[in-house]
C-alpha cells in the first residue's frame, strides 16, 4: 500500500455482506470442535458451551456490525482556534488473530492534528473497538484505524500506534509470553516529521 493510498481494501469491507451461517449451524460446528478435542459435548459441563460460544463470538466480533466512519461523523467546529495535536493514549485493544483465532491483547495510541474539526474522544475509542473486534492482523488493524480518521475528519495529520501481545505466539508455537509487537501508521504531516514520530512512539 502506498503512503498516499487512503482507501480501505474493498474486498475486506465486502466480507460484512456475505451470507452468515444460521445459529443452528454455528452450534453444531462448536459441538464438532468439542468432539474433535476428545471430549463429550453432551456431558453436563459442556451442554451449554455451544450457546455460550455463540454469544461470546457475537461480542468478540461485533465490529463487523459497526461502521467506523459513521462513528466519526458527528464533529465539532467550535474549537476556539485549537490547532495542535489531539492524542488519546492507553486505549485497551482486544482483538483476535485471523490465523489462529487467538487473542491479541494490548493498548493503542491514537492522535490527529485537526483541520478545523474535532470529534468526541469516546468516538476514537469506539473506532478502535470497531476494527479490533474483527479477525485481524495487527499491521492492518493499525492502518485501518488511521485511514478511517483521515478519510472522515480530513485532519492535517494522523498517528496511530499499537503495542500488543499475540497469544498465538505466547501460548503455542514458540511459546514466548510477554513478547509484544509494536506497529504504527502515520499520515499527512506526521509522515515526514521524524521528531514527532519518535516522541509519539515514546510517549507514555
| Residues annotated catalytic, as ranges | 97-100, 138, 166, 168
Residue of 127, 129, 163 lying closest to 146 (CA atoms): 127
Strand partners, 86: 112
Angle between helix 23-37 and helix 49-60 axes, rounded to 10 deg: 110
Sheet hosting strand 103-113, strand order edge to edge: 135-136, 86-97, 103-113, 157-166, 180-188
Displacement of CA 44 from its chain's centroid (Å): 36
Q: Which residue has the cell 454469544?
A: 55
Provide the 10 A C-beta neighbour count for residue 155: 23
Neighbour count for residue 92 (Cβ, 10 Å): 13
Amino acid at each position: 500500500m502506498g503512503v498516499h493510498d487512503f482507501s480501505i481494501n474493498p474486498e475486506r469491507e465486502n466480507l460484512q455482506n456475505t451470507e452468515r451461517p444460521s445459529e443452528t449451524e454455528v452450534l453444531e460446528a462448536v459441538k464438532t470442535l468439542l468432539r474433535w478435542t476428545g471430549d463429550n459435548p453432551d456431558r453436563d459441563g459442556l451442554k451449554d458451551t455451544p450457546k455460550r460460544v455463540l454469544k461470546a463470538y457475537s461480542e468478540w466480533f461485533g465490529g463487523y456490525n459497526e461502521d467506523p466512519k459513521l462513528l466519526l461523523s458527528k464533529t465539532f467546529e467550535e474549537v476556539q482556534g485549537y490547532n495542535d495535536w489531539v492524542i488519546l493514549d492507553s486505549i485497551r485493544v482486544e482483538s483476535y488473530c485471523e490465523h489462529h483465532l487467538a487473542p491479541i491483547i494490548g493498548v493503542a495510541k491514537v492522535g490527529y492534528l485537526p483541520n478545523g474539526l474535532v470529534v468526541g474522544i469516546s468516538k476514537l475509542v469506539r473506532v478502535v473497538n470497531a476494527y479490533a473486534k474483527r479477525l485481524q492482523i495487527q499491521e492492518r488493524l493499525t492502518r485501518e484505524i488511521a485511514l478511517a480518521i483521515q478519510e472522515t475528519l480530513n485532519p492535517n495529520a494522523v498517528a496511530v500506534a499499537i503495542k500488543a501481545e499475540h497469544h498465538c505466539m505466547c501460548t503455542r508455537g514458540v511459546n514466548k509470553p510477554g513478547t509484544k509487537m509494536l506497529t504504527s501508521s502515520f499520515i499527512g504531516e506526521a509522515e515526514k516529521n521524524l521528531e514527532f514520530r519518535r516522541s509519539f512512539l515514546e510517549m507514555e
